[in-house]
A and B are shown apart, each in its own frame.
Chain A
């Protein structure tokens, strides 16, 4: 009973953490989207000087744990003279990480568009960039919306790792409550519940947008 009571008493505090989680995730996805779009296009470039670094980027960031990446940026970079506060460090790490995953999604999205679309655009005199911007990417993004939604959900959950460098997001807020109340089960369960509500709402939102775009 006391456990439930403590959860309710501290629920508002957890919600503040949840709000921070959402902001952290949104910023990171924003960075990831921009980064991923360019790297995804770069992965398809015939120019080796563009293609190879983009491929290396994707492979490296997907092949190493996010926790290690966060640690490198927050604990490692200061040794090279680059000191980031916890929040910017977390956004950087999560953004760079999701950039790699989104790059693969974008690459697949571009490849899903028939070659004739690009050729038609180019045959009208549009440049490579104009063809991408007005013809290929709008169609590609429509196709990859579900995959991007998944990435958003994954990142919402992964952002909990930012707690290890002291970002006061949901996980960290929960740990703080536990350190005062010692109610490990109910608080962790409360945290899980809030994460679930967030990811559930996001997945419904994505599905809604998807349906609207399908009929548009």
Chain B
């Protein structure tokens, strides 16, 4: 599936509706993600940013609309298969505290992808090197700083060779001085050609790394465009107001 400019569309979201009880959190979201694109999703809290991400890997059920991966409705994939293709990084890291770093990384590849332990360990070492934490391979999560935890969490997600990475406010739980190291890893990842959807309030990151910024408010995409367009010259009053408050 390609868009009009011939770019490959990896994810297509059509009229997505998500309700928590009576509360409508997503009110018909339409969106396309091109392969290798980095999209930063911004917007006021409670606007539906995280929920949108969580619908894509089916951590949330949605009530209306469709999501396509590679042109196929995600409901037609086996859910666990789908999730191995979509990596996710959480605000609270969610490392497994009873396992060391290596075990955190190798659990899913061994149990889900059934790869040999030796191969998984090699891969874990390679990725830990990439995120600069090879010396923490035997450490337990509680021995790591927040920034280190999040870098391990990114490496853990990458162990499954995902085609897309979802980042749900990856730096919001970090002390300010630890934000940079995580953003650097994400930047490298974006530059390596990973398709990324990032919910964040880090406007510097958005400006520098994003191919597109999507502004979500009240459950709809209010505005989207290139970072310079959105950040410098927002068209909608809501966007203007939001940016004025956070910049």
> Which residues of A are in contact with B by a Cβ distance under 8 Å?
114, 116-117, 119-127, 130, 134-135, 138-139, 142
Q: Could you tell me how many residues of chain B have their Cβ less than 8 Å away from some Cβ of chain A?
A: 25
Contacts of B67 in A (CB 8 A): none
Pick from B83, B97, B98, B111: contact of A123, CB under 8 Å = B83
Residue of A nearest to B81 (CB): A125
> Taking the complex as formed, is B196 at the interface, i.e. its CB lies under 8 A from any CB of chain A?
no
Beyond the given pairs A120-B153, A127-B80, 7 more chain A to chain B contacts, judged by CB atoms under 8 angstroms and listed by A's residue number, are A119-B94, A120-B88, A120-B90, A123-B86, A124-B107, A125-B112, A139-B97
Say yes or no: A125 contacts B98, CB within 8 Å. Answer: no
Q: Does B160 sit at the interface, judged by CB under 8 A?
A: yes
Chain A interface SS verdict (over half): helix
Closest to B88 in A: A123
**Minimal Cβ-Cβ distance residue in B for A115:** B94
Q: A125 and B97: CB pair below 8 A? A: no
When the two chains form their complex, are residues B108 and A124 in contact, meaning their CB atoms are under 8 A apart?
yes
Tell me the bound Cα distance from A40 to B143 in angstroms: 32
Known contacts A116-B92, A116-B94, A135-B96: A123-B59 contact under CB 8 Å: yes
CB within 8 Å of A: which residues of B?
57, 59, 80-81, 83-84, 86-88, 90, 92, 94-98, 107-108, 111-113, 153, 156-157, 160
Most central of B57, B96, B157 by chain A CB within 10 Å: B96
Once bound together, how far apart are the Cα atoms of A89 and B98, in whole Å? 39
Taken together as a complex, chains A and B put the C-alpha atoms of A139 and B97 apart, in Å, by 8
Residues of A within 8 A of B92 (CB): 114, 116
Question: Which 10 residue pairs are nearest across A and B when measured between Cβ atoms?
Answer: A120-B94, A124-B108, A125-B84, A116-B94, A123-B88, A125-B112, A125-B83, A125-B80, A116-B92, A138-B98
Most buried by A among B81, B84, B94, B107: B94
Task: Tell me whether A134 and B94 are in contact in the complex, defined as CB-CB below 8 angstroms, given that A124-B84, A125-B84, A126-B112 are known contacts.
Answer: no
Q: Are B98 and A142 in contact (CB under 8 A)?
A: yes
Given the complex of chains A and B, what is the CA–CA distance between A71 and B174 in angstroms?
60
**What's the nearest-Cβ distance from chain B to residue A46, in Å?**
11
